[in-house]
Amino acid sequence: MSGTTDQLIARRKKALGPAYEHFYERPLHLVRGEDVWVYDEAGKRYLDCYNNVPSVGHCNPYVLEALNRQAGLLNTHTRYLHHEVIEYAEMIAATLPGDLSVCTFVCTGTEANDLAYRIASTVTGNDGVVVTSGAYHGNSTLVDQMSLEFGRDHVPPDFIVGIESPYTYRGSIGSDHPNPEAAYAELTDQAIDTLASRGKKPAMLIIDSSFDARGILTPAPEYQQSVYQKVRAASGLVVADEVQSGLCRLGDHYWGFEDSDVIPDIVTMGKPMGDGHPVAVVVTTPEIAAEFAAKSDYFNTFGGNPVSAAVGKAVLEVVERDNLLGNVHSTSKYLLEGLHKLTQEFDLIGEVRGKGFFLGIELVTDRNSKEPATTQAAWITEYMRESGVLISKIGDYRNILKIRPPLVFRPEHADIVLQKLRDALTTLNN
């Protein structure tokens, strides 16, 4: 017997320790998932508008069939030949532009970003890192140091320098600046100079294609183009972290960096690639891969195993078969239209941001002063949970509602979100 929710909470605290956190004031005890829905122990259904891990839907039957089929045949690792692993790498390469075609398989986004640094530092001979503030890239010791999230009191080591992310609504450079993208990009020069003052050069810039933690920021293409150029001019490589923004999530391309018409040197991919199964990938060019291999090697016991490869292949096949890129494009347009209508009705909404199925709604108590509506954001998140819709809150002041559903989310689901959000905003107004 699993026990009541209160009993499970007590057992969890004892068994897992205090470092683990819950979503929601009243923790959600989930027991089953299907498509865009999850179900609690009492059978109540919730629309999942937060989890990007089940990219093609919770418990997708096509993916499950591929997993079960291969698990019943063989599961080893990449030191043996297996067609599933090779075919999966070829399928990933076919989605990418330029010379990005060599895959190294790992299990998590953390591992992918950790390996990206190892490759970049080996190939360039440098050890410096430029990162954007308010970013989360993973939780190994190294990658945790590269995650300069708001509210954390750790000071990064001297080889890591942060630059302010392009937050024109609330950042140091506002939308009233004549060229905010260029102004934010120029901060990269300062970071490179800081590294130089410490006797270091950048091995890499690691950058999201859509900035998450500070409130879903999608700057104009000129920003990424300029930042890429500046880091490469300083002999560094560019790593595009596509763990959150990749795999069709932004609605126009498979990978978020394509929106900015740039091609990175290394791409890292993670959790959405396996629809819940631990699949992650580092992709680079043949030239970089060869140079890394000449100086180092890499092996991961579970990364690239045949079962994971079969799962990853199935996910890509579902994305293509069901035209999920087209679905994200059209459904997100419909959802954004509804959110902008709510902005006209409710002054609590300061700004709606984002793209595709990666959206943020910044709440303020006053649109002129932009005072963060932190309490209201928390209340709405809990209201939506009780109403059967799962969203989250993020941002420097936790005043931004985050909507990031699976790729199979459709207009009828958007209608539910819009109605429940309208109900919440109306309740607050009364």
Q: Which of 257, 252, 248, 150 is nearest to 210 (CA)?
A: 257
Alpha carbon distances (Å) from 7 to 2, 42, 220: 8, 15, 49
Q: Are residues 332 and 283 in the same domain?
A: no
Specify the residue for token string 């002054």: 347
Q: Judge if 11 and 46 occupy the same domain.
A: yes
Residue 133 has pLDDT above 90, yes or no: no
**C-beta separation of 370 from 261 below 8 A:** no
When the pLDDT of each residue in the chain is averaged and rounded to a whole number, the result is 95
- Give the end of a domain, one of 321, 349, 364: 321
Q: Residue 20 has what pLDDT?
A: 84
pLDDT score of 153: 65
Once rounded to an integer, what is the mean pLDDT over residues 85-96? Answer: 98
Mind listing the pLDDT tens digit for each residue in 159-194? Answer: 999 999 999 999 999 999 999 999 999 999 999 999
pLDDT for 369: 96
Q: Are residues 18 and 93 in the same domain?
A: no
Cα separation, 383 vs 100, in Å, equals: 44
Residue 273: per-residue pLDDT: 98
CA dihedral (241, 362, 51, 407) in degrees, to 10, reads -80
pLDDT average, residue stretch 237-247: 97
Count of domains forming the chain:
2
Q: Per the structure block, which two tokens stand in for 124?
A: 């360039």
Residue 59: pLDDT band (50, 70, 90) is very high
Q: What is the pLDDT of residue 408?
A: 98
Residue pair 128/236 in contact by the 8 Å Cβ criterion = yes
**What CATH number is associated with residue 73?**
3.40.640.10
Contacts for 53 with CB less than 8 Å, ≥ 6 apart? 271, 272, 275, 276
Query: Are 111 and 145 in a shared domain?
Result: yes
Check whether residue 66 and residue 197 sit in a common domain: yes
Question: Do 196 and 186 share a structural domain?
Answer: yes
Residues 385 and 299 in one domain: no
Torsion, Cα 214 218 223 224, to 10 degrees, reads: 90
The residue among 321, 343, 378 that closes a domain is 321
Give the pair of three-digit tokens for residue 327.
Answer: 């679905």
Whole-number percent of the chain with pLDDT over 70: 98
1 confidence band (pLDDT: 50, 70, 90): very low
The reply to whether 108 and 49 lie within a common domain is: no
Inform me whether the pLDDT recorded for 150 exceeds 70: no
**Statement to judge: residues 111 and 186 lie in one domain:** yes
Of the candidates 128, 105, 104, the residue with the CA atom closest to the CA atom of residue 117: 128
Model pLDDT for residues 6-50, shown as the tens digit of each residue: 888 889 888 998 888 888 888 899 999 999 999 999 999 999 999
In this predicted structure, the answer to whether residue 149 has a pLDDT above a threshold of 70 is no
Distance separating alpha carbons of residues 278 and 50, to the nearest angstrom: 18
Domain coverage including residue 76: 62-321
pLDDT of the residue at 2: 61
What amino acid occupies position 197? S
Longest dimension (CA), the chain: 67
* CATH number for position 423: 3.90.1150.10
Based on the domain organization, do 230 and 278 belong to the same domain?
A: yes
Q: How far is CA 45 from the centre of its chain?
A: 25
Q: 80 in helix, strand or coil?
A: coil
Cβ atoms 306, 76 nearer than 8 A: yes
pLDDT in tens, 361-405: 999 999 999 999 999 999 999 999 999 999 999 999 999 999 999
Please, are residues 223 and 257 in contact by the beta-carbon 8 Å criterion? no
Q: Which of 268, 296, 321 is the last residue of a domain?
A: 321
Q: Tell me, yes or no, whether 47 and 75 share the same domain.
A: no
Q: Are residues 45 and 105 in the same domain?
A: no
